[in-house]
Structure 1
Amino acid sequence: MTAHAPVQPGGLSPARLARLPACWIVAGLLVAGGLRIAQIGGRFVAAFPLATLTATVLFGLLAVPFWLFVTELDFFEREPTALLAVALAWGGLVATAVSIPAGAALGDIVAKLTSPGFAAGWGAALTGPTVEEIAKTLGVVAIVLIARSQINSVLDGIVYGAIVGLGFQIVEDIVFSLGAVAVAGRADDVQPVVATFLLRGFLSGVWSHTLFGALAGAGIGYLVVGTDRSRPARLGVALLAVFGAWCAHVLWNAPLFGDGPGNGAAGLLAVLVFKGLPPLLLILLLVRRAHDREADFYTAHLARLMDPGLITPGELTVLRSGGLRAAARQHARIRYGRRGLLAVRRLQRVQARLAVELSRAWACSPAPGPPPATSAVSGEDPGARVRRRCAEVRTQRAVLSGLGMPEAVAPRTGRDAWARRAWAVVTVALAVAVVWAALSALDGG
């Protein structure tokens, strides 16, 4: 894969966006989708006000940890919040509004071409992925058309694809939960909402639309940044990624192994793992590979500084790994409390910002050496931005030193290392207990 391209500053100025026809087209589609979803939501509010409020709150809260996790994936070059909001809105408004009628129409075609029995069993497995994956992938394409300069790695495509999928997942799950209320026929009852939340949100969310969107987004990201390959080769990889997302979605919707509650907690867990684990492992592998490439690219710029006041050799190693960054923060929390955790987190973040600014500055330089005083591309002063980031790093270094911590690293042995491992074991055990309780509640319901 080609080296990462630095993010160009000022790429999202309102004046520039206003000149892009794609920006106005996307805005129009978001408005149209919003009106359609508002129309659907209005009918639910009128019929089931309490259930609608409950579903909105539950699935809205569920979106928060997903959002935080996905946006943290791209640790160095964080995506602009405005573009993330567009991606979330596309998934929740445009993709959902298109998929509801298109899925129903395609379902009718499948029933006519096959048989009512086949359509009842496999219709959702064929129509849903076909319509929904195309609609969601177009959301990532829309981000590319609006802000091509912000897509500088495969990881960017993964993040935007996952956020589009998250928006779709939340809105679709709200609609499904309220549909379950209508089917139950018990007026404004929240029990079907809670059951849907446990199954489609809490248990299935980790390997549902967010995952499918991330897989397709990886392909779009490669299509944009893999300039060391021919355009047909990149297009082939992108289509293969979208097809992979479609296959994962088909497997998820397929009526295999008596899907659904009633199989016992162990049986339901086995179904979820069989259907969701393969694509989850695949996307985790892609994320790891893309993250490592991006981390190597940016930390190479930091290594050129050879200034332990900005970053030590140990911190260079830590900054390359999400696990080591988390371990350093956890070590600081155990040893120095919340102040230590915040000090390490802030130091890591300003070091990452410095790395991005260095990549921008060196990209503006026609030859190796220190960053130029003035950018030939934007007319701005990349050297001044680098100096400002250096000052931020030194300020955070002073805070860390004031706590008695010479560098933001965690020891691999000793009491603190065992404390971190024990905390991880307790966290995993608690998560397993909560998941098993949810499975048992669904089976009992």
Structure 2
Amino acid sequence: MSEAVRPGAPRAVPYLRQPAFWIVIVLLVVGAVRIAQIAALFFGSFPLATLTAIVMFGLFAVPFWLLLAELDFLEREPAGLRVLAFAWGGLVATSVSIPGSTALDNLIAKLGSPDLAAEWGAALAGPTVEEIAKTLGVVAIVLIARTQVNSVLDGIVYGALVGLGFQIVENVVFAIGAVQQAGLGDRVQPVITTFLVRGFLAGIWSHTLFGALAGAGIGYLVVRRERSRRRRVAVAGLALFGAWASHSLWNSPILRDSFGDSVPAVLAILLLKGLPPLLLVLYLVRRAHDREAAYYVGILATVRDPGLITESELRALGSGSRRGAARRHAAASAGREAKLAVRRLQRAQAGLAVELSRGSDGAGACADRVRRHRATLAALGYPEAVEGARSWRHTASTVGTAALALAVLWVALSALGTA
């Protein structure tokens, strides 16, 4: 077995028997009541702006949710635990952080000075309270269903989902705060501005990213049992500190006045502050995915049945980019229906690998599913889910997408500068 992966847990986990489950439920209910009270105040004062903020940031969460749901393709996290992680971030972590950050900010003003709190409060108080509150959400997942955290990648996904829930609720609060500060009544313009700044410009390297980094540390602590406890705790602490430091740097006044306020300057600051933690998390995701893929693909390699998986499919299944390339090749060769069939076949093969790792009776049903999807592919004249030669169109599309993203960022920054 790979040192970074443990066998998948059985599907039926007696969550209701876990004391931690009921503690988390109580905390979620308390958090939901608190957030509902805040929402009621917002709707009472600014109904249109509040509804607009909820809809905009709710839609903003959708692509992040879909991406995170697909991140661990080979051994997906249970939907219930993903919802719980998101709810912890949106209800518990936010309801704790709102008063907690204010209290710590006041403490900084008393122990230091009001000027220190005004300049550095957001960089010190907010990250300290918020990152701890969010990380406790991943710890709660471990306490409820420890066997479901069987790779570092699981910790990353749960941490990112906690961060996503926090990010959405916090952004709605900030949007309505901007409406109130504008003093123009129930207008949506401050909401749109907040969406551009906190969603569009800062969303990719915000709480979802910080949560993923801290979650990687919890995943390491739980999974890497061959390491000493001291080392695992140290790595988890270092990951939490990394999340705190990334958050603190993002909120800090560092570089704020270094480049001016032109569009290129603001874009440079966004990249300098946000790109390093983003690249670090992408590296951790890639490394964790490769370790997990090596484990599950290794299990499938022992099957030695081309009706279930071929040598070429083994190679494609172990890489996200190659899985995508196989689907694109199927679409180009046999149409969209073949692309969907390849995706279903890959999903069934991944499920088979997980069931084989558990040594459960479910492997037989998964094998039957694989054969059905292969038969569907064969009927389309496309019997094997393999990647084709790298297309220049895909490379051009990737470069074009990156260029378009930078162009849209430029336009958004220009619009904010002239608003």
Name the TM-score, length of structure 1 as normaliser: 0.91
Cα distance between partner residues in 2 of 1:162 and 1:313? 34
Cα distance between partner residues in 1 of 2:386 and 2:23? 47
Say yes or no: does 1:408 pair with 2:408.
Answer: no
Cα distance between partner residues in 2 of 1:42 and 1:174? 13
Aligned residue type for 2:403: A
Residue 425 of structure 1: aligned partner: 399
Give the deviation of 1:269 after TM superposition.
Answer: 0.9
After superposition, the CA RMSD in angstroms is 1.6
Alignment match of 2:114 (pick from 113, 116, 120): 116
The equivalences for 1:266-415 within 5 A come to: 266-361=264-359, 382-383=360-361, 385-413=362-390
Count of matched residue positions in the alignment of Structure 1 and Structure 2: 418
Give the deviation of 1:335 after TM superposition.
Answer: 3.1
Alpha carbons 1:110, 1:123 under 8 Å: kept: yes
Give the deviation of 1:31 after TM superposition.
Answer: 0.2
SS of residue paired to 1:40: helix
Residue 151 of structure 2: aligned partner: 153
Cα distance between partner residues in 2 of 1:67 and 1:181? 27
Deviates most, 304-313 or 92-101 = 304-313
Residue 2 of structure 1: aligned partner: 3
Alignment match of 2:223 (pick from 225, 234, 244): 225
SS of residue paired to 2:95: helix
Aligned residue type for 2:7: P
The equivalences for 1:190-269 within 5 A come to: 190-258=188-256, 263-269=261-267
Alpha carbons 2:5, 2:292 under 8 Å: kept: yes
Alignment match of 2:48 (pick from 47, 50, 72): 50
Cα distance between partner residues in 2 of 1:308 and 1:24? 46
Cα distance between partner residues in 2 of 1:7 and 1:155? 13
Aligned residue type for 1:391: D
Alpha carbons 2:4, 2:152 under 8 Å: kept: no
C-alpha spacing 1:406/1:425, structure 2 compared with 1 (3 Å): farther
C-alpha spacing 1:259/1:88, structure 2 compared with 1 (3 Å): farther
Q: Which runs of 5+ in 2 are unaligned?
A: none
Alpha carbons 2:175, 2:195 under 8 Å: kept: yes
Give the deviation of 1:278 after TM superposition.
Answer: 0.6
Aligned residue type for 2:415: A
Q: Which runs of 5+ in 1 are unaligned?
A: 362-381
Alpha carbons 1:11, 1:150 under 8 Å: kept: no
Aligned residue type for 1:128: G
Cα distance between partner residues in 1 of 2:218 and 2:255? 33
Alpha carbons 2:293, 2:318 under 8 Å: kept: yes
Identical-pair percentage: 62
Name the TM-score, length of structure 2 as normaliser: 0.97
Aligned residue type for 2:261: N
Give the deviation of 1:428 after TM superposition.
Answer: 2.9
Cα distance between partner residues in 1 of 2:258 and 2:154? 34
Q: Which runs of 4+ in 1 moved over 6 A?
A: 259-262
